[in-house]
Structure 1
Amino acid sequence: MPKYYEEKEEDGRACAGVREDLRSCLLEHDCVLKEGKTPKQCLKEGHCTALQRTFFECKRSMLDNRTRFRGRKGY
């Protein structure tokens, strides 16, 4: 479930909601909290992959010329 809501202040960056959710998922994961690994190491191990994929698709959609008319993917 996404934690990002439209009432929050926007930071003006592309894909800000997905970025915030991915960040909070990684920082609250047992890999970081209990094992003491960095979030980058946890991403390589395959944690929070759905949000990572959504963030990638959102960033990739910025390069697609069709998104000028459709808008960015993500939230």
Structure 2
Amino acid sequence: MITYAPEELGLADTSPCAAIRADLKMCLLNSDCCKKDNKTPRECLKDNSCPTECMQLRHTFFECKRSLLDARRRFRGHKGY
């Protein structure tokens, strides 16, 4: 699995969860759904035709974004750092 950290590659997006978002994008773009079936990453996620690795990254990205909105977790820090 490819892991991107904002410091390593100098990602333009330095917001929280940016590294997880980059991993999810690359996972979807390298999947057979996008390459062979010529579907967009959004269509692959809607059809659930992407690999389980991408679905796990999607869930992790969701949890990271949810932690940004949760007032109790503001004091603990954001996930994805």
TM-score normalised by L of structure 2: 0.80
Percent sequence identity over matched residues? 56
Q: Secondary structure at the match of 1:66?
A: helix
Runs of 4+ in 1 over 3 A off after TM superposition: none
Post-superposition offset of 1:67: 2.0
Confirm whether residue 25 of structure 1 aligns to residue 31 of structure 2. Answer: no
Q: For 1:43-58, what aligned pairs fall within 5 Å after superposition?
A: 43-46=45-48, 47=50, 48-58=54-64
Q: Secondary structure at the match of 2:75?
A: helix
The range that moved more, 14-23 or 63-72, is 63-72
The range that moved more, 64-73 or 28-37, is 64-73
Q: Which residue of 1 aligns with 2:10?
A: 9
Name the CA distance, whole Å, in 2 between partners of 1:66 and 1:9: 30
CA RMSD of aligned residues (A): 1.5
Confirm whether residue 42 of structure 1 aligns to residue 25 of structure 2. Answer: no
Q: Which residue of 1 aligns with 2:78?
A: 72
TM-score normalised by L of structure 1: 0.86
Name the CA distance, whole Å, in 2 between partners of 1:64 and 1:2: 28
